[in-house]
Chain A
C-alpha cells in the first residue's frame, strides 16, 4: 500500500506570506495527525482528525494555523501569515484506529520562513 504522502517536501517563503501543506494519508485511515518539529526541539502534536472532524486541536499554536480535511481524505495545513518561528519540519501521520500500535508518518515538509 502507498504510505503517507506529504508535499511539498521543502518550502521557503518570506515572512508574512501564506503556505499550504498537504498530506495524503493511507487510504482507509480515518485518523490523521499533524506534528511539527521546530529546530532543536521535540516533535510536538498539533492536531488530530477523525475523518473530517477535528478531534483534538489543542496543539495548534495560534490562529495563524488552519487545518482542514474536507471529505475525510487528504488534509491541508495553512499558515497565514507565516512568521520566522514557524520554521521547522511538519509531519503528517495516519492510523486506522486510535493508533495504539503506532502511526505511519510521512516524510515531512521542511518549512523555512525567511
Chain B
C-alpha cells in the first residue's frame, strides 16, 4: 500500500522510555522524519535520518532505521510530561514533478502519566 503506518496511541509513565514505531512503504525514500505536534501548535521537526544510516541519536531522542523491513522508530529516554504530544512519522518521496512530497502517518498520541 501507499500508507505510512503508526499506532495511534501510546501511554507511558514519567521517567520511562517511550518507543514510537512506524512502517513506511517507499524503499527509495532517502530521508525520514519525526515531527511533534503539541496541542494548538504546528508541526515541529524533531529529527530526521538519512537512509544510509541505521541510527541517529540527539540528546534524549534515538532514531532507529531498519531499511530492510522499512521500519522506523523513535525512542524518547526519560519521558517527561512535556513530551505529551502527537508524533508524526513522515517519508520524503520524489513526486516526479521536480519536487518532493512528505507522506505522513496518522500520528501517535503519546500520553505521559505523572
Contacts of A41 in B (CB 8 A): 106
6 contacts between A and B (CB under 8 A): A41-B106, A91-B42, A93-B43, A101-B31, A105-B35, A105-B43
A-B contact count (CB 8 A): 64
Interface size class of B (residues with CB under 8 A): 20 to 34
Task: Classify the secondary structure of A's interface with B.
Answer: loop
A35, A102, A106, most chain B CB atoms within 10 A: A102
Query: Which chain B residues have a beta carbon within 8 Å of chain A's beta carbons?
Result: 3-4, 30-31, 33, 35, 40-45, 48, 88, 90, 92, 95, 97-106
Contact B97 A56 (CB under 8 A): yes
Contact A56 B42 (CB under 8 A): no
- Beyond A35-B102, A43-B104, 18 additional pairs, beta carbon < 8 A: A43-B90, A43-B102, A45-B95, A48-B95, A55-B97, A56-B97, A56-B98, A56-B99, A91-B42, A98-B100, A99-B100, A100-B30, A100-B31, A100-B100, A102-B48, A105-B44, A107-B42, A108-B42
Chain A residues bordering chain B, tally (CB within 8 A): 27
Shortest B44–chain A CB gap in Å is: 7
Q: How far apart are the CA atoms of A43 and B6 in the complex, in Å?
A: 13
Contact B99 A55 (CB under 8 A): yes
Task: Classify the secondary structure of B's interface with A.
Answer: strand
**Nearest residue, chain A, Cβ from B98:** A55
Shortest B32–chain A CB gap in Å is: 10
Residues 27-85 of A contacting B (Cβ, < 8 Å): 35, 40-45, 48, 55-56, 58-59
Whether A91 touches B43, Cβ cut-off 8 Å, given contacts A100-B30, A102-B33, is: yes
Q: How far apart are the CA atoms of A100 and B99 in the complex, in Å?
A: 11
Q: How far apart are the CA atoms of A107 and B105 in the complex, in Å?
A: 18
Contacts of B35 in A (CB 8 A): 105
**Does A4 lie at the interface of the complex (its beta carbon under 8 Å from any beta carbon of B)?**
yes
Contact B48 A101 (CB under 8 A): yes
Q: How far apart are the CA atoms of A110 and B103 in the complex, in Å?
A: 20
